[in-house]
Amino acid sequence: MYRVTLDTRLDCPLGRVTAAHDVTLTTPYWNLSPETGRCDLWVEASSPGRSQLESGIRALRDADGVSYFELKRKRGSHATAHVVLEETVAIETVLANGGAVIGPLRDRDGWERWHLGFADADAAADTLDSLDRRYELAVVEQTPLDDSIPTDVFRNFDEAATLLDGCARLTDAESDVLRTAVEHGYYETPRGESLASLGDRCGVSDVAISKTLRRAERKLLGAAVSALAGLDGFDVDSDPNSTNARLDGGG
C-alpha cells in the first residue's frame, strides 16, 4: 500500500468557508453517490470561540454548492452538521485511479488536507498528475506502508474512537485547566506547579482547580481504561471495582 498526504485548495464550499472564517471543518464520514455525483458528509466544526463558530456554521449553511444542511449538535465552540454537496469532482479523480480516502478530510484556512491510499506508487503518481493539472496542491508526504501499520490502526479503530470521545467530552474549562497544568509541570516530579499556583494562573481558587482537574482526569482515564480493555493482549480485572490490569504474559 502507498499512502499520500496532500493539501489542496479547491473551489468547494468547505474550502471557501474556512478561507473566510476562523473555523476548522473536519469530515470523518462521507459517501459519494455515483448516480448523482453528490457527496453526503458529516462535518465536525471547531473554532477558537462561539462567535467564530456561529459565523462559520451560518456561512456553510448558506454556501453555494450546499444542497442540504442540518445542524446535529452544538456545544461551546464545537458543532456537528450533516451536509450534502452538489458535486465533488476532485474525489472522483482519486476513485477513478483506484485510490481511496483513508483518513478524515480537514479544511482550514482555505486548504483541504487529504489522506489517500493506493495499491502502488504508479497509481498515486497518476492521480497526483491529474489533480495537479486542475487544482493547486502541495504534497506533504508519500510513503510506502508496511502492511502491519494500517492493519493495527484499523483493527483498533473502536478503541481509538473511545479515547477520542473521552477527549471530546471535556468542557472548554476542563480542557484549558488540564492544558495549563501539563504545560506548567503540575504532573512532573517534582511538581512545577501547586494547586494554589495553578489556580492563580487560571484566576480561580485551588479548590476550584482541584475539582476541575478531577473531572477532566475522570473523563480521560475512564476513556483510556475502556480503550485499553479492547486492545489485543490487554486484560482488565473482571472486578468492576478493581483498578488492576495486566498485559497477557506479564507479571
Q: What is the pLDDT of residue 97?
A: 86
Query: What's the rounded Cα separation, in Å, for the pair 157 and 193?
Result: 36
User: For residues 171 and 154, which has the higher predicted lDDT (pLDDT)?
Assistant: 171
Query: 27-65: per-residue pLDDT in tens?
Result: 988 888 877 778 899 999 999 889 999 999 999 999 999
With cut-offs at 50, 70 and 90, classify the pLDDT of residue 245: very low
Query: What's the rounded Cα separation, in Å, for the pair 179 and 184?
Result: 9
Which distant-in-sequence residues (6+ apart) come within 8 Å of 3 by Cβ?
102, 115, 116, 117, 118, 141, 142, 143, 144, 145
